[in-house]
Amino acid sequence: MLRIQIITIIASVAFLFLVFRMVVKGRLREEYSIIWLLFTGILVTFSFWEKGLLLVSNLFGVYLPANLVFTISIFIALVYLLHLSVVASKLQKQNKLLAQEMALMKIEIEKLKEEIKPE
């Protein structure tokens, strides 16, 4: 086994373990963990199966397997970042709605307090 293989195996298994732990502790929601688990799984697979990367590279017509890895991972990272921006936008929208509802409710509470105040 190559030295680089051992390093990637250790790194990706450690990463997988980290993701698992965060989901278990409730610090990462399951729906966001799917993509991480999936890609760590792929990483682990190719760490063990070194011929696989060469095979896939040939399939795509890429000379250097490393280029394929870079291209795919950068693309995935970009898509995921976009997804996170969408999530942030949604959260901001919900946050605004909640703040407004809350402020309007405070007025209602004040009104009610005035009404039930003993004479």
Partner 1 sequence: MMNILIIIPCFNEQASLPGLISDLGNLKLPEKYNVSVCVVNDCSTDDTRQVAKKLDVILIDLPVNLGIGGAVQSGLKYALLNNYDLAVQMDGDGQHPPAELQKMIACYEETGASLVIGSRFIVKEGFQSSFLRRLGITYFHWLNKFFTGKSIYDSTSGFRLFDKKAIQLGARYYPDDYPEPESLVFFSKAGLAIKETPVVMVHRNGGQSSIRSFTSFYYCVKVTLAMFFSFIRKP
Contact positions toward partner 1, by CB under 8 A?
92, 95-96, 99-100, 102-104, 106-107
Which residue lies nearer to partner 1 by CB, 2 or 107? 107
**Cβ–Cβ under 8 Å, residues 16 and 40:** yes
CB of 83 to partner 1, least distance (A): 20
Which residue lies nearer to partner 1 by CB, 21 or 96? 96
With the C-alpha atoms ordered 37, 43, 48, 50, is the resulting torsion angle positive or negative?
Answer: positive
Distance in angstroms (rounded) separating the CA atoms of residues 59 and 5? 22
- Polymer length in residues for the chain: 119
**Cβ–Cβ under 8 Å, residues 76 and 36:** no
Which residue lies nearer to partner 1 by CB, 59 or 102? 102
CB of 92 to partner 1, least distance (A): 8
CB of 119 to partner 1, least distance (A): 22
Distance in angstroms (rounded) separating the CA atoms of residues 60 and 32? 29
CB of 110 to partner 1, least distance (A): 9
Which residue lies nearer to partner 1 by CB, 30 or 108? 108
